[in-house]
Amino acid sequence: MRPYRCRSLSGAAACVAGVAAVLTACSSGVGGQSPSTTVAPSSSAAQSTQAAAPSGTVGMSPGGVTTRIDTPAESTEEQYAQACMATKTWMDGKGGDPKALVEPFLKQLQSNAAPGPATFNSTWGQLSTAQQAAVIIAVKAAADGGC
């Protein structure tokens, strides 16, 4: 990921918020695994899961929406800011709890939606895995008020 440069006081504040969101998102899934309160799978199932995808693991919601990609995110500062603001605008238009809107927005992006600023002016399928990870981070940052 490219380092962010902040040129003004308001830009610096936005940059700090963006970096904080990225660091929070990156540190929340230590080792690609998050704390869980569910029953652990059998040892053979756990071994096959670990062997199948040690890095770049994709987290899916029960509704089949990609909500996490354990790979380093890749976007420019401008792409990240545009994705975050486009998401915030969409969430503001829907109303309600922004955190509850993360999955519906990601579902919309992932279902062959037209290219737009939330997906770096590409479709979801045209994005690299690292870019998809960056989009997810920007969407979660928007829900947290980070843009």
- The Cα 53–Cα 9 span in angstroms is 42
Q: Is the pLDDT of residue 20 over 70?
A: no
Residue 76: the pLDDT is 97
* pLDDT tens column, 43-96: 333 333 333 444 678 888 899 999 999 999 999 999 999 999 999 999 999 999
CB 139 within 8 A of CB 106: yes
Residue 58: the pLDDT is 87
Distance of CA 80 to the CA centre of its chain: 10
Residue 29: the pLDDT is 40
In this prediction, residues 22-51 reach a mean pLDDT of 36
Q: At what angle do helices 102-110 and 129-143 cross, to 10 degrees?
A: 150
Higher model confidence: residue 92 or residue 20?
Answer: 92
Confidence bin at 4 (pLDDT 50/70/90): very low
Q: Look at residues 66, 71, 78, 89 and name the one whose alpha carbon lies nearest to residue 25.
A: 71
Q: Is the pLDDT of residue 22 over 70?
A: no
CB 18 within 8 A of CB 77: yes
Residue 50: the pLDDT is 37
* pLDDT tens column, 95-130: 999 999 999 999 999 997 899 999 999 999 999 999
80: tokens are 């990240």
In this prediction, residues 10-21 reach a mean pLDDT of 39
Residue in the block written with tokens 């829900």: 143
- Does pTM top 0.85 for this prediction? no
Residue 42: the pLDDT is 34
Q: Look at residues 45, 47, 71 and name the one whose alpha carbon lies nearest to residue 58.
A: 71
